[in-house]
A and B are shown apart, each in its own frame.
Chain A
Amino acid sequence: MKKLLGLALGILSAIGGFVDIGDIVANGTIGARYGLSLVWVLVIGVVGICVFAEMSGRIAAVAGRPVYDLIRERMGPRIALVNLGASFLVTLLTLTAQIGGIALVIELASGIPHVVWIVPIGLGLWWVVWRVKFEKMEQAFGLSGLAILVFGVAVWWLDPDWAALGTQLVSVAPPAGEPLPTYLFYGVTLFAAAMTPYEVFFFSSGGVEEGWDRGMLRMQRVNVLVGFPLGGILSVGIAAAAAAALMPTGMDVETLGEVVLPVAMALGLAGVAVALFGFFAATVGAALETGLSCGYMLGQYFGWTWGKRLPPVKATRFHVAVAACLLAGVLVVQTGLDPIMITEVSLVFSAVALPLTYLPVLIVANDGDYLGDQVNGKLSNVLGSVILVVVLVAASSAVPLMVITGMGA
């Protein structure tokens, strides 16, 4: 019974924890502009994150070491440094975007400008990293993120043209009059939002923090293979709500408030309260994950003692690194840069960094010295290789598409 409860909690946390500010912005923007005609990209992204999260979870459970630690050992310090540089900067940018996202959510709830909230948010995040236990943090924010399901309820209440939504869902082309490169640009950002690099580092490092072993392989697999796809449905809910309420007006989504507008239309104050609670939990959860991931990457590369479970006195450099990253994120958002713009840029650069994150995972997952009889099977390798090709295409086209479409204008 206890095991079953743990499994259910793990799945629910994975569902709620799947969404972050990148998913929220990307799905809101895309839903209003293209309806559900980019859901196929999200499906590929969810398959990709499932495949690679399963690999990294297996590595953590069997080798007892996180992925990044093994990447450095297996690929050598120089190549690992390239990996560290790219992944770390993108994760720091993603952390900055989450901090801005939290501030925007609080602004929508309070009416007080978001810049006022940034320092308290930084302090709050730092306190949680320091004082709240890892499992509690994961479960609290993951479970609360489930509130985003309110977007699905809003879609049902808005009673849109279901046939039109169905047609968009099976479409793999831009709607009439929409230029292909802009459609592809948004496809790349949606893919990057689903496969954000920090997820793999956090997942495997979290596995080591929680002491996963071979006996927990099945549980972590179920968490990933059930939790992440269901989390993807939360993202589709946001896109569907925008498709139902905003797309018919021809407007563009440029603020977080506009993403929430369909819920406000359908369910009024109660709906908005639930949606903002869900966004708050999702962005705070993601900020904690990205902040910790920055510390994990640095700690594992430089061989520090690391871990959220360890008190600051025992893992001083790790805790200082996490605090410094939070401070950096706070300072960037405090300059007044638009958090939505930071999010969009972070998605583009996430796309660029994807191969540097996922190729080494595939290599380590095939290394019998680390994984013994748990090396990748044929299915994992075929899926991993196919996703890697998609990752390479997304990475190589992200910046050119950003430039030539004027950031999806």
Chain B
Amino acid sequence: MGTRASVDTGCSPRRGAWPSLTVACGVMLALVLLLSGCQSWALSSGSELDQAGRTVYSQVQVMALVTDTALRHDRPATVSLEVMLDDAESELTDQESAIAQIPPDEPRRAEILAITRVAVAELSGLRGALDAGDRAALREVRGALRAASARLTAAGVS
């Protein structure tokens, strides 16, 4: 016992030092996380317009995939696809209001707002085409959605 107590290599911290070391490591870890987190937030979240634009982009993709699905299958799970379109509509309407509140001098605002309105307008056409199984109308909507998606990408949103 005594031997164990007398051994001191000089590099191992005293017993009482462990809690302090643990706290210090914890604080350092928290700082690193906080810093990288802030960087992450800046990278991932962007401005309000960027966030809204990304949501619009995402919903345009959902609409495009729903259109593809309806074109691919004779029995495309219409009810479920319509629920997806309801969700997309709710999301797009929210974003339209959010973008409309952003000051008009913000660059790209007008373009992203216009694309959002196009997407909302295409929704009713898509719903009707889906219900009727009208492939020609579905192809037309798909074309419009592709154009909207390309415009969003050109506006720096994707």
Query: Chain A nearest CB: distance from B151 CB in Å?
Result: 15
Give B90's nearest chain A residue, CB to CB.
Answer: A255
Q: Does A179 contact B (CB under 8 A)?
A: yes
Contact partner of B34 (CB less than 8 A), chosen from A250, A271, A400, is A400
Report the interface size class on chain B. Answer: 35 or more
In the complex, which residues of chain A have a beta carbon less than 8 angstroms from the beta carbon of B57?
250-251
Q: Does B80 contact A (CB under 8 A)?
A: yes
At the interface with chain B, which of A58-66, A106-114, A314-322? A106-114
Contact partner of B58 (CB less than 8 A), chosen from A251, A272, A409, is A251
A261 and B65 form a contact (CB under 8 A): yes
A261 and B84 form a contact (CB under 8 A): yes
A251 and B62 form a contact (CB under 8 A): yes
Q: Mark B59-93, 1 if CB is under 8 A from A, else 0.
A: 00110111011001111111111111001000100
Q: Does B136 contact A (CB under 8 A)?
A: no
Measured in the bound complex, the distance between the Cα atoms of B57 and A269 in whole Å is 26
Query: Chain B nearest CB: distance from A147 CB in Å?
Result: 15
Q: Does B97 contact A (CB under 8 A)?
A: no
Measured in the bound complex, the distance between the Cα atoms of B65 and A9 in whole Å is 38
Query: Chain A nearest CB: distance from B27 CB in Å?
Result: 12
A109 and B69 form a contact (CB under 8 A): no
Given contacts A250-B57, A250-B61, A257-B83, contact A264 B34 (CB under 8 A): no
Measured in the bound complex, the distance between the Cα atoms of B79 and A182 in whole Å is 34
Q: Is the interface of B mostly helix, strand, loop or mixed?
A: helix
Q: Which of A238-286 contact B (CB under 8 A)?
A: 245-246, 249-252, 254-255, 257-258, 260-261, 264-265, 268-273, 276
Q: Which of B30, B73, B82 has the most CB of A within 10 A?
A: B73
Query: Chain A nearest CB: distance from B134 CB in Å?
Result: 17
Give A255's nearest chain B residue, CB to CB.
Answer: B87
In the complex, which residues of chain A have a beta carbon less than 8 angstroms from the beta carbon of B1?
none
Give B42's nearest chain A residue, CB to CB.
Answer: A179
A249 and B64 form a contact (CB under 8 A): yes
B75 and A111 form a contact (CB under 8 A): no
Q: Mark B35-72, 1 if CB is under 8 A from A, else 0.
A: 01111110111000001001101100110111011001
Q: Does A401 contact B (CB under 8 A)?
A: yes
Measured in the bound complex, the distance between the Cα atoms of B77 and A265 in whole Å is 10
Q: Does B124 contact A (CB under 8 A)?
A: no
Given contacts A181-B36, A257-B87, A268-B72, contact A409 B44 (CB under 8 A): yes
A108 and B83 form a contact (CB under 8 A): yes
A264 and B77 form a contact (CB under 8 A): yes
Query: Chain B nearest CB: distance from A206 CB in Å?
Result: 33
Query: Chain A nearest CB: distance from B52 CB in Å?
Result: 12
Query: Chain B nearest CB: distance from A85 CB in Å?
Result: 23
Q: Does A377 contact B (CB under 8 A)?
A: no
**Which 3 pairs from chain A and chain B are nearest by CB?**
A404-B37, A268-B73, A179-B40
Please list 30 pairs of residues, one from A and one from B, whose beta carbons are closer than 8 Å in the complex, sorted by A's number: A107-B83, A108-B80, A109-B80, A179-B36, A179-B40, A181-B33, A245-B65, A246-B61, A250-B58, A252-B55, A254-B58, A257-B80, A257-B84, A257-B87, A258-B62, A261-B66, A261-B69, A261-B84, A264-B80, A265-B65, A268-B77, A269-B73, A269-B77, A269-B78, A270-B75, A276-B80, A403-B37, A404-B33, A405-B37, A405-B44
| 13 more CB-based (< 8 A) A-B contacts, given A257-B80, A268-B74, A406-B44 | A108-B79, A179-B36, A179-B39, A180-B40, A181-B33, A251-B62, A252-B58, A258-B84, A264-B76, A264-B81, A400-B33, A400-B34, A404-B40
